[in-house]
Structure 1
Amino acid sequence: MRSQVLYRQINKDYAYWTEKRRIGQERGGNTAGLLTCREDGQVKRNILIDAGLGTLEGLADFCDDSFWDQPLAVFITHGHIDHHAELMVLSEIYCTRRGKNIYDVRPPLPVFCTPETQRHLFNVHRWGYTGGRTLRHNELTPGVPVSIDIFTVTPLAVDHFEGAVIFAIEFGRQKSHKIVIGWDLKTLPLAPQAVERLRRPSLALLEATTWTAMAEETGHSSIEDLVVSGFLDQLHLQFDPAQEQYGAHLVHYSGWEDPWGMLTDVQLKEKFDCAFPALAGVVRVAERGHQWHFHG
């Protein structure tokens, strides 16, 4: 049995695209990712990370209609509305799909998050958890791994918001591959035990809301935070696509608060390479819709 895992960055930026158009660049919606496991060419599992603004549009852009017939679970990083705004609609679309029998009814869509995040989700999507029965809560505890098909997902607490977590997702023979879902962050570096769980990733998606360090003002980490704190060095990043090592890719960028304003992706990468040449080979700016391949 041959297995293949694909990770696609459905959307990669902070907030919705309308605010981005003033620099002449269509940039998609709020950061979200899709992890897909295929066995012998058939989709065994999809995992969606966050379901905020623009997620449905991203799924429409990059997935065909068969996506809605495939097994799906959703992992939510935290309770801010921009990371789960479209969860209810997504669950309704998913659960109203029918099989060959018109009376087939799907069970609720499983949603994995911490108890604190669940309280925020319930306040917004109450109908899905009660009368609509399209959502089912699965509790996450920071530091405690959960298994779903071939994936082992470990949530790690961060201080961006109450109950906020990032994820280390491991899979493959002897957990040979690891994807780090590193948004939204605030204070860096992280605790040593968290860094150890994240170290040597096959791919790391890391928040870089601004260039300038201003976490206390924005509640978000910056490119300067990632570098100056030593966090990027601690991860032991490698870029070697032939070995399915893809380094780090910056996501959740806005640049609104930076003195020079928002940069295009090309400008951001050029500025990074100039400022931090030692990291230029292992850090890139994520592209909306880009897909990375891994073999089991």
Structure 2
Amino acid sequence: MTTTVTVLNGVDTIGGNVVAFETQTARVIMDFGINFAPAESQPDDLLSNGVLPALPDLFTDIAGDKQTAIFISHLHLDHMGALKYLTKLTPVYMTMASATLYAELIRQGLELAPNAQVQVIAPNKDVQIGDLTVRAFATDHDIMGAVMFEVTDGQHRFVHSGDVRYDGWHPERVTAWTQYLHEHRPDLFFVEGTEFSFDDDTSRQRRTEATVLTDFTNAMASDDLVVINPYERNVERLMNLSAAARQANRELVWDERFAGILRAMGVSNEIMLGQDVTVADIQQQPGRYVLQNHFDNLHLLDAFDTFSYLHMNGEPLGDYDPRYADLTAYLAQRGVALQLAGASGHATPDDLLRIAVEVDAKMTLPWHSFHPEREAEALRQIGIETYLPKKGETFTFE
């Protein structure tokens, strides 16, 4: 049997990475992200300019000739954002946590993918797609339900790391799958390299989820209102922030979007602005509350004379987004300091090297990075067999 592995996108970008594993009768695709597309973009245009992966049978009227399934490692846009462009019904596998969150985002109108037939995959359970077998392994990332994927054809073993870190709340998950892979030595190991994208800055302290909670707890020591801007898809962090607020004798007040997500994910006791607490309530006793505020509703903060503002990986995430200048200008005009209190979901360069050593694949392929060549060179220096994949490149295994 011949199996091919084709790199479709994401070789020199953070996200949008897509790889296809194919036999004569079956095709498995993972992930299915997109980096950026204007709101009114059409699939044909995005396919022709290379934004969408070169899979015309999924985005046009061209018929496919293989049993096909898409596997999503986690529910960040750069790993699943192309689903909305599917033009025909396609099985899409993800974990229960991802599927639950996806359903809520669709209910809220934040996502829309009518041709994605969501199927739930459980970690450590095989899914058969023709003559290919896929297994998910729980991992540590800044979103619930994240997994690493292994694909086998009975003779060869291929691995897509997904996004991973070693200093979150669940490092034992990463240790478990690296040890498993070490015992089974994959033929190809696609490993993310996000943190190799950035120039070394020895003065920059590594921030973790624990750091986020420490900064949050310190901010609540004052009598002022505390405002936070987290990312709604990092549900575990939202839960931990709520618990920390209660421990500090404050109530964390969510907007309708965040409250809906938390309730969908099984949290039943969260407080929603306008339903459980009003702006007037917060004005009267600001020291009793923490207010979650999305950039879309920034001017709600006009109602408060003073507050502290903790930016926790919410929108706009960085100065590459034009809205970031609007946020900083607003806070400056209000005399409020912008406190960066987020944490990366991606492993440090040293931890990425550690993962590669522990896996010890026959060939390691760095991608999901603006500078994958940096990771490749670092891997070679420690004796890891490494190859820099090219967009559109196909590897053949007999």
Is residue 17 of structure 2 the alignment partner of residue 31 of structure 1? yes
Aligned mates of 1:132, 1:207 — CA distance in 2: 26
Amino acid corresponding to residue 234 of structure 1 in structure 2? E
Q: CA deviation at 1:156?
A: 0.3
Q: Which consecutive segments of 4 or more residues in structure 1 shift more than 6 A? A: none
Q: Counterpart of 1:285 in 2: which secondary structure?
A: coil
1:250 to 349, 366, 372: 366
- 3-state SS of the aligned residue for 2:23? strand
Alignment match, 1:9 = 7
Return the match for 1:114 from 57, 71, 95.
95
CA deviations 1:16-56 (Å, max 9, x no partner) are 7xxxxxxxxxxxx6111111111xxxxx1222112211696
The structure 1 residue matched to 2:76, chosen from 73, 76, 80, is: 80
SS in 1 for 2:357: helix
Q: Which residue in 1 is equivalent to 2:145?
A: 163
Q: Does structure 1 retain, via aligned residues, the 8 Å contact 2:18–2:53?
A: no
Structure 2 vs 1, CA of residues 155 and 12 (structure 1 numbering), >3 Å: closer, same or farther?
same
Q: Cα 1:126–1:51, aligned 2, differ >3 Å: closer, same or farther?
A: farther
CA shift for structure 1 position 74? 0.8
Partner SS for 1:47:
strand
In structure 2, the CA distance between the partners of 1:214 and 1:183, relative to structure 1 (3 Å rule), is farther
Give the match for residue 51 of structure 1. Answer: 32
- The letter of the residue matching 1:232 is A
Matched, 1:208 2:204: no
Q: CA deviation at 1:13?
A: 4.6
Higher relative contact order (CA 8 A, sep 6+): 2
- Whole-angstrom CA distance in 2 between matches of 1:34 and 1:279: 27
- Matched with 1:103 is none
What is the RMSD computed on CA atoms of the aligned residues?
3.2
Q: % of aligned pairs identical?
A: 21
Ranges in structure 1 where 5+ consecutive residues have no aligned partner: 17-28, 39-43, 96-107, 239-246, 255-262
CA contact (8 A) 1:115 1:163 kept: yes
Question: CA–CA distance in 1 between the matches of 2:146 and 2:56?
Answer: 31
- Residues in 1 aligned to 2:31 and 2:128: alpha-carbon distance in whole angstroms: 18
Q: Deviations over 1:71-91 (max 9, x none)?
A: 32110101112211120211x
Alpha-carbon contact 1:156-1:165 (below 8 Å) kept:
yes
Shift of 1:132: 8.2
Q: Does 1:232 align with 2:356?
A: yes
CA shift, 1:236, in A, is: 2.7
Consecutive unaligned residues of structure 2, counting only runs of 5 or more, are: 36-42, 209-342
- 1:153-181: CA deviations, max 9, x gaps? 1100012020000111111xxx2210011
What SS is found at the alignment partner of 1:88?
Answer: helix
Q: Deviations over 1:55-77 (max 9, x none)?
A: 96348774566974233211010
Separation of aligned partners in 1, 2:375 and 2:177: 28
Instruction: Summarize the alignment of residues 87-166 of structure 1 with structure 2, pairs less than 5 Å apart.
Output: 87-90=83-86, 93=87, 95=88, 108-125=89-106, 134-160=115-141, 161-166=143-148
Q: C-alpha displacement at 1:122, in angstroms?
A: 2.4
- 1:52/1:85 contact within 8 Å kept: yes
CA contact (8 A) 2:68 2:129 kept: no
Judge conservation of contact 1:214–1:220 (CA < 8 Å) in 2: no
When residues 269 and 50 of structure 1 are mapped into structure 2, their CA distance, relative to the original with a 3 A threshold, is closer
Q: Could you tell me how far 1:185 is from its partner in structure 2?
A: 0.7
1:194 equivalent in structure 2:
177
TM-score, length of structure 1 as denominator length: 0.68
Decide whether the 8 Å contact of 1:168 with 1:197 is kept in 2: no
Q: Secondary structure at the match of 1:180?
A: strand
CA separation of 1:52/1:126 partners in 2, compared to 1, >3 Å: closer, same or farther? Answer: farther
Residue 294 in structure 1 maps to residue 397 in structure 2: yes
Change (3 A) 1:50 1:192: closer
